[in-house]
């Protein structure tokens, strides 16, 4: 499976800062063949989308979506609007939306299914808090987030249109990366749950790791079993660090 390297810019970057960053990134990653995604803020999509055209295998995504085509939903953005803005992907279930904005697993599931049905590709994020991990609830939490998140997704969905990002909440933006053993165990569990919930075709779904990924640790995380890519926050904001991570994925593809 080609590795996927995704940037989650969160609430960083104006439209101009987004295009400046991508214009600096492009010459650093010429000839790469791994898939690259940039989840930009809504207000930077109109500069992100054209700037990504200069980068091979790169696509733009949004960080959130509302599950309706249009309507009286003040402040919300529909999948149709995102597609028209040039996005092909959207994030659902990011832990900051679950825990800061209070999104339920059911609502994440509605967003996921509606976006896919509308033509967007979806990266569904899942992950446990430290308290849940310490209480031995890792598997239960992942199972619930996957079950609700994928509840109305058709079983025959094209595996290139959906991926899962496993991000332990305690490792996001904290500088604490999960150990190799933690990542291996959690990704194997996500794979097992996906196959149990959705059948053997789920062995083709990509599972990305996220949580304090940096150029240094990307080298050891990317080759691990069932790690099909990375979702990167802080280190995706500067061209140099994001390019270094992309180059790690590229060198693995060559070996
Ligand atoms: P981080 O963020 O790389 O800054 O930990 C990852 C994410 O939230 O997707």
Ligand 1: which of 232, 235, 244, 245 to mutate, most ligand atoms within 8 Å of CB?
A: 232
Please report which confidence band the pLDDT of residue 44 belongs to, taking 50, 70 and 90 as the band edges: very high
* Strands (DSSP E) found in 11-57: 35-40
Ligand 1 atom having least distance to the Cα of 235: 3
* Residue 163 token pair: 């991926």
Ligand 1 atom having least distance to the Cα of 210: 6
Q: Summarize the confidence of residues 24-47 as an average pLDDT.
A: 96
pLDDT for 118-127, tens place per residue? 999 999 999 9
Ligand 1 atom having least distance to the Cα of 95: 8
Please report which confidence band the pLDDT of residue 145 belongs to, taking 50, 70 and 90 as the band edges: very high
Please report which confidence band the pLDDT of residue 27 belongs to, taking 50, 70 and 90 as the band edges: very high
Q: What is the predicted pLDDT for the residue at 255?
A: 64
Distances (CA, A) of 215 to 59, 192, 219, 243, 255: 21, 29, 7, 9, 18
Residue 236: CB within 6 Å of ligand 1? no
pLDDT > 70: percent of the chain? 100
Instruction: Give the dihedral sign, CA 202/251/175/108.
Output: negative
Distance of CA 211 from the midpoint of ligand 1 (Å): 5
Which residue numbers are catalytic?
94, 167
Q: What is the predicted pLDDT for the residue at 253?
A: 80
CA distance 8 to 241: 13
pLDDT at 254 over 80: no
- What's the whole-model pTM score? 0.97
Ligand 1 atom having least distance to the Cα of 125: 9
**Residue 146 · residue 190 · CB < 8 Å:** yes
Distance of CA 30 from the midpoint of ligand 1 (Å): 25
Q: What is the predicted pLDDT for the residue at 1?
A: 82
Residue 210: CB within 6 Å of ligand 1? yes
Q: CB-side exposure of 224: number of CA atoms within 13 Å? A: 23
Residue 213: CB within 6 Å of ligand 1? yes
Distance of CA 48 from the midpoint of ligand 1 (Å): 19
Q: Summarize the confidence of residues 4-27 as an average pLDDT.
A: 98
- pLDDT higher at 176 or 158: 158
Residue 149: CB within 6 Å of ligand 1? no
pLDDT for 84-113, tens place per residue? 999 999 999 999 999 999 999 999 999 999
User: Could you identify the residue written with the tokens 């050891």?
Assistant: 220
Distance of CA 204 from the midpoint of ligand 1 (Å): 24
**Residue 149 · residue 105 · CB < 8 Å:** yes
DSSP sequence for 116-185: HHHT-EEEEEE---HHHHHTT-HHHHHHHHHHHHTTTS-TT--GGGEEEEE--GGGTTSS-PPPHHHHHH
Q: Summarize the confidence of residues 140-156 as an average pLDDT.
A: 96
Supply the mean pLDDT for the chain: 96
pLDDT for 152-168, tens place per residue? 999 889 999 999 999 99
């Amino acid at each position: 499976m080609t590795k996927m390297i995704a940037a989650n810019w969160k609430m960083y970057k104006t439209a101009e800062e987004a295009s400046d960053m991508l214009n600096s990134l492009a010459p650093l990653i010429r000839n790469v063949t791994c898939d690259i995604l940039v989840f930009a803020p809504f207000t930077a999509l109109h500069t992100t989308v054209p700037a990504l055209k200069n980068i091979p295998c790169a696509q733009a995504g949004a960080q959130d979506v509302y599950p309706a085509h249009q309507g009286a939903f003040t402040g919300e953005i529909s999948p149709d609007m995102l597609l028209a803005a040039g996005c092909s992907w959207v994030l659902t279930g990011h832990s900051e939306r679950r825990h800061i904005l209070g999104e339920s697993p059911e609502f994440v599931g509605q967003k996921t299914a509606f976006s896919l049905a509308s033509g967007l590709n979806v990266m569904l994020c899942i992950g446990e808090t430290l308290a849940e991990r310490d209480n031995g609830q890792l598997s239960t939490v992942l199972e619930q987030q996957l079950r609700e998140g994928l509840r109305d997704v058709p079983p025959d969905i094209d595996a290139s249109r959906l991926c899962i990002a496993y991000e332990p909440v305690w490792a996001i933006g904290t500088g604490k990366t999960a150990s190799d053993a933690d990542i291996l165990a959690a990704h194997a569990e996500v794979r097992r749950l996906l196959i149990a919930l959705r059948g053997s075709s789920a062995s083709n779904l990509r599972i990305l790791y996220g949580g304090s990924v940096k150029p240094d640790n990307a080298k050891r995380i990317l080759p691990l079993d069932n790690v099909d890519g990375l979702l990167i926050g802080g280190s995706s904001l500067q061209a140099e660090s994001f390019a270094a991570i992309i180059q790690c994925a590229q060198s693995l593809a060559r070996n």
